[in-house]
Each structure stands twice: as C-alpha cells, then as structure tokens.
A and B are shown apart, each in its own frame.
Chain A
Amino acid sequence: MKATLREYGGHIDPLGRRAYVADSAAMTEATVEEFTKLVIEAQAQQPAADDNGGARGGDVMTYTINIEHDGQSTVLKQSDATSTDAFTALQNWLKRYGART
C-alpha cells in the first residue's frame, strides 16, 4: 500500500508542489500495521461528499491523500475547515514518516 499526501492553498506553497509519500513495501511489520490502521480510520471518517474540502474561506488549505492498494486507487480529500481527527492523524503520520518529494 502506498499513500501520497498533497497540501494546497494557504500562505505557503499554494500550488502544492511538495508531497509526502509512504510505501508499506519499505516498512517493518509493526509500522505497516500502524499505517494500515490509520488509513482505515481515515477512510471510515470521510465527510459527506458535499462537505468534502470545498471550503474557500481566506487562506484555508485543502489536502488530498491518494491511497494505492492492490491496483486500486482512492483519494481522500479534506480542508482545514472539515478535517476529521482520523484524517489529521494520518496526515501527521505521513508528514512525519513519509518521504518528501
């Protein structure tokens, strides 16, 4: 499983040129377990489609996490105004352990 976090908008790097990537292929078994748990929880707490990251208040940032697994791809999308705790936890984890590209 591979997850890619991108951040857009806000005062810094509004075009989201930087990304954080984590790939389970390069992780220990314990880390894969933690990573998988965070992904499952973030997917389970996705807001309703019409609340999904569309906030356009001044300087609000939006985030996408693209999850690739077994040939399938899922994109989780949230904003500063809509972030769930589970999404934030996965986002923080990816920023801490993911590789910067």
Chain B
Amino acid sequence: MTRVCRCLNCIVPPHLLKKLLESNNIQLRRAALDTLLSTAKLRGERSVQVAFASAATGSSRRSIFDCKHSTNLSRATLARSEGGPATRDAAVNSAYDGFGATSDFYKQILHRDSIDDRGMRLNGYVHRGRSYNNAFWDGREMVFGDGDGLMFTDFTKSIDVIAHELTHGVTEHTAGLEYHEQSGALNESISDVFGSLVKQWRLKQTAAQADWLIGVEVFTPGVNADALRSMKAPGTAYDNEEFGKDPQPDHMDHYQNLPDTEEGDNGGVHINSGIPNKAFFVAATELTGFAWEAPGHIWYEALKASGPTTNFQEFASTTYAKAGQLYGLGSAQQKAVLTGWREVGIEVGSMALVSSEGGDTLTVLTKRIEALSAQVDALAQEIRPAKAA
C-alpha cells in the first residue's frame, strides 16, 4: 500500500489527526489513519485499528470511492457521499444503495447503529483493479471488483454480496471470529446469513419464498452457474468445466479438514461455511414466516455472545440457549434451532456435549465417567489419612 504524507508522523498532534479522519479528502483521511495506526503499532496496540475506524463516525454516513481500476485505494476519488445525487456510474449507485439497505436492516431489525453500533462511516470502493473477480472487507472498508466481463460481472450488482461484506465488519466488532478453520467458516457463514436476510428483507420474502442463494447476479448470463453459494443446498451452486463442482459440504460427515494456509482457504473458511449455512436455512424454514424475525434475532444474539475462537458446536449451543432465552424453553423457535443443527450433524440441548472433548456421544460420556472416577479415587486418597488420625 502506498502511504502518503509520512511527514504527518512528526508534526500533527493526535487530536488533529483524529479530526482529519472525518475529512472528505481520502488522501488526508488515509494518511491520518495510517499515521495513527503506525503510532499505535509501535505501542503494540493492535486493537486500535477498530477504535480509530470507528472514530470516523457519522450515523453510518456513506462514502463511495472510484478506484478507476487501480488496486491502490489511496488513489481513489470520492464519487458519491451521503445525501449526494445519483451518479452516472451504476456501480457507485449500487454500492451506495446496497450500503443503505444493509444499514437500514441492521438499524430497523436488529437495532444496531452501523458496523460498530456507534454509527461508523461506511466507506466503499468500486472499480478495483482490472477484471477483478472478487469483493472483500479489509478491516476498514468494503472493496468491489468489476468482474472480468466474461464469467463475472460487477460485484455491486448483488445486494447479498454487499451485505455479506458489511457483515464482516459487524462480526469484527462483535465476536471477532478469527478468520481460519471453524471460527473462520462461522465468520463466512454469518456474512452469508445476514447477506441473505438483507436481500429477503428488501424483497419482503418469507423463508419459503427466498432463493437462499448468494451472489446470483455476479455471473454473466452465459455462465452455467446458479450463484457463488447455496445455503439451501450447499455444494450445488455450480458445476461446470471452468470452476469444477461447488465444494461446500452440507453435513459434518463431509467436513473438509484443509490446511490453515492461504492455499487451504485458511482451513476451508469458504468451504465449510456450508454446514452452518444449511443449519440456519433449516431452522428458518422450520418456522416459516420471515427469516429475519426469530431466526435472524437468535443468530445475531448468538454472534454477540460468541468469541474469536468459537467453533460450530459452541455456536450451535449458543443459538439454542439464546432461542430459549428469547422465546422460551421448548418453544417452537428453540425446537427449530435444534432441528437445524441436527440436520447438519450437530447436537444441541440435552444431547449436546462439549465438542472440544472430541469423539462421539458415547466416547465423550465414557471419558467423563473415567475422569469423575479418577477424581473420586483422588479424593478418597486425600481423606484416608484424615480418617486414620
């Protein structure tokens, strides 16, 4: 990343740097943020990035920047800001509208004020690079490619992809799920869940009416693919010569143990997310009605109650507990959650045992009985001298 105005390091006091974070000039804003982050890095305060990103608040005010096909975000120019008129650039308007819909969803349905729940400014970058087939959240902003025009088109065309990226920010500010292995796959799944819910909410679709597909619009018409992922039927979103077959599993029996490297998709974060995705779909359709109501609230409360290393079993148990707290023990909502996880091979409720112990139910119970027996033996050894005295 090209850094600008390094001289700011030594002559601008911190309060002015914070003020510059609110500037409309991207170069000034990035320079200020880089400077603050560099200073913080020297102090070893890694978490400061989240705090300073939040400092640029403004009731989730939107700013959309045009990268003009560069990969260097510091060269992007402001194309549309909050309240500004629509531009001639469809990608700019789509990103602006998508951020608005997602922000409204979080505010109206989940009573959350932007990514950080403190009105964090929403910065989006469109037209990144050339033929760039992706969209991402980099910890500060959301970035969208135009696609190569052959297989993929503009990623801002998909409201669920936009909401997916923004939700990565929400996850970072709540559970902070680490982006690898099961916690990473949960991170991806949470983005798919709320990405799909934003789309369903916008279209006023019930769980039965929704397509439960992520990124339908990013493929060009000639490509034989339904979407990037299917929450309803993981592993069926595409099957063609160009990309092969959708690798997502829909059950723990098919969980893919991939290396925790870039080559292994950080332990399969985009692969194994199919499992919790399917669990949410089943829970939502068990209940009928709108998925953003009870299922969405249960998943959101579970996200807020989770931590960086939460795994599938722990998250499943949390959703079950939250369903009981929100809607009552043994309620239809809690039963739907149980069914959802059971369909993908994860037991919750009275049958659930802590997954970190490993093994099936009988094995875990046997281990627990052995451990308890050992504790009783040890206790007996301790009290024997006392009794003798």
Q: Is B152 in contact with chain A by the CB < 8 A criterion?
A: yes
The answer, yes or no, to whether A70 is at the interface (CB within 8 Å) is: no
B270 & A80 in contact (Cβ 8 Å cutoff): no
Complex Cα spacing A64 to B71, Å: 16
Q: Say which residue of A9, A12, A85 sits within 8 Å of B72 (CB atoms).
A: A85
Specify the chain A residue showing the minimal Cβ separation from B218: A11
The residue in chain B whose Cβ has the minimal distance to the Cβ of A54 is: B262
Q: How far is the CB of B124 from chain A (nearest CB, A)?
A: 14
- In the complex, whether B359 has a CB less than 8 A from a CB of chain A is no
Tell which of B4-12, B127-135, B196-204, B328-336 binds the partner.
Answer: B127-135
8 Å CB interface, A66-86 against B: 80-83, 85
The size of the chain A interface, using a CB distance under 8 A, is 29
B171, B187, B243, B266: the one within 8 Å of A12 (CB): B243
Shortest beta-carbon distance from A13 to chain B in Å = 6
Which residue of chain A has the shortest Cβ distance to B169 in the bound complex? A58
Chain A residues in 8 Å Cβ range of B164: 58-59
Contacts A13-B243, A85-B71 given; indicate if A58 touches B228 (C-beta within 8 A): no
CB pair B264 A60 closer than 8 Å: no
Please tell me if the beta carbons of A11 and B179 are within 8 angstroms of each other in the complex.
Answer: no
Q: Which of A14, A64, A88 contacts B270 (CB 8 A)?
A: A14
- B158-196, CB < 8 A from A: 161, 164-165, 168, 171, 178-180, 184, 187-188, 191
Q: How many A-B pairs with Cβ below 8 Å?
A: 99
| CB contact under 8 A between A83 and B71, given known A58-B137, A59-B134, A59-B136 | yes
In the assembled complex, B377 has its CB within 8 A of some CB on chain A: no
Q: Out of A16, A57, A64, A85, name the residue touching B136 (CB < 8 Å).
A: A57
Q: B134's closest neighbor in chain A, by CB? A: A10
Residues of A within 8 A of B171 (CB): 58
Q: Map CB proximity to B onto A1-41 as digits: 1 under 8 Å, 0 otherwise.
A: 00000101111111111000000000000000000000000
Q: A9-B262, A56-B180, A80-B136 are in contact. List 18 more A-B contacts (CB 8 A).
A: A6-B263, A8-B265, A11-B134, A11-B135, A11-B228, A12-B133, A15-B265, A16-B263, A58-B136, A58-B171, A58-B187, A58-B188, A59-B134, A59-B168, A59-B270, A62-B262, A80-B134, A95-B131
Q: Identify the B interface with A (CB < 8 A).
A: 1-2, 70-72, 129-131, 133-139, 143, 152, 161, 164-165, 168, 171, 178-180, 184, 187-188, 191, 215, 218, 228, 243-244, 247, 258, 262-266, 268-271
List 8 A-B residue pairs with CB atoms under 8 Å apart, sorted by A's residue number. Answer: A12-B228, A15-B265, A55-B138, A56-B184, A59-B134, A64-B262, A81-B138, A92-B129
